[in-house]
Amino acid sequence: MNRSTLGKGLVFALLAVLTAAIAFYLYLQRPAGLPAGLASGNGRLEAVEVDVATKIAGRLSELGPREGDTVAAGAIVARLDADDLRAQLRAAEAQVEQARQAVTEARAGVRKSASDVRLAGKSLKRSEDLVGRGFISRSKLDTDQTGMEGAMAGMAQAQSRVGEAEALVAAAEAKVDSLKVVLNDTSLKAPISGRVLYRLAEPGEVLAAGGKALTLLDLSDMYMTIYLPTDRAGQVALGSEARIELDALAGQVVPATVSFVAPKAQFTPREVETRTEREKLMFRLKVKADPAWLAEHRDLAKGGMPGVAYVRLDGNAAWPANLQINGK
């Protein structure tokens, strides 16, 4: 054997030894399997999205927040042009005053009619006395009786006009209330505290009823969707303890709970794992991150971050050291 052949043999031998050493090292460094009673699945952190939309059609006059801004629940984030509605409201309020004045006049008419009735009653009584004594004719009594009936009818009519006037006041006040509600709807308020994900309109645009101005992310309601095979999903209880690890937050273990388990199995989506795994029936689960942790790490957790969610199949199963929180 010449030196060249011997040298090549030594090189191959060294490569073989080095490859075996690397393989053994990687074997030792492999992640430990999950203990019994735990299961895991890959997913992405998602947040509930809420739209800020109009109830009425109108031209957008103001829109404050930009994408990425944080808004508080109840804060006014946009306004619609409301000049026409304000004019209608002033006209409706004037109609209320007119209707109230009509009620005052109608009640004055009732008082006058009541006075006429009293006067007609006195005249009728006097005529009855005089007819009984034979001082006046019967025709005068008939005239006074007719006058009494007319006064009573006039009073009933006056009372009816009061009812009509009061009904007009109620209708005018209802119109004012309705216009105030519509006017209030021109101020768009944030339904939740969250971060602006999309700014969907700009001032000057005309929005239809239901038109969207902003999309907000509810940073207090974030979750990860994972898929487990039927034999494991059947062991998961709603509200059971869970953990989330995000790729971008190494060393951070997010406390969580199982908030949803699909009532029926499905084939896993195309983007999940391999074709062989897609052919298996799986159950969809939602693992919801702890709101207190999210509030404390508001600037860390972001929608779309990939990671792994771990769930307990057995309530007595212990979390491994790398998934424990406060020693538990």
- Listed by start position, the domains of the chain span 30-47+219-320, 52-80+186-213, 83-184
φ, ψ of residue 239 in degrees (nearest 5)? 85, 0
What would the pLDDT profile of 29-72 be if each residue is shown by its tens digit?
434 567 888 888 899 999 989 999 999 999 999 999 999 899 99
What would the pLDDT profile of 156-193 be if each residue is shown by its tens digit?
888 888 888 889 999 999 999 999 999 999 999 999 99
- What is the spatial distance between Cα 6 and Cα 62, in angstroms, rounded to a whole number? 83
| Paired tokens of 19 | 């490859």
- Predicted local confidence at residue 142, as pLDDT: 74
Q: Are 201 and 57 in contact (CB under 8 A)?
A: no
**CATH number of 52-80+186-213: 2.115.10.20, 3.40.50.620, 2.40.50.100, 2.40.30.10?**
2.40.50.100
Q: Which residues have C-beta within 8 Å of that of residue 10, sequence separation ≥ 6?
A: none
Handedness of CA 152, 158, 164, 169 (dihedral sign): negative
Q: Which residues have C-beta within 8 Å of that of residue 47, sequence separation ≥ 6?
A: 194, 217, 218, 219, 221, 222, 223, 303
Residue with tokens 């519509």: 182
What pTM did the predictor assign? 0.64
CATH class of 30-47+219-320: mainly beta
The strands making up 58-63's β-sheet, listed across from edge to edge, are: 187-189, 76-80, 58-63, 206-207
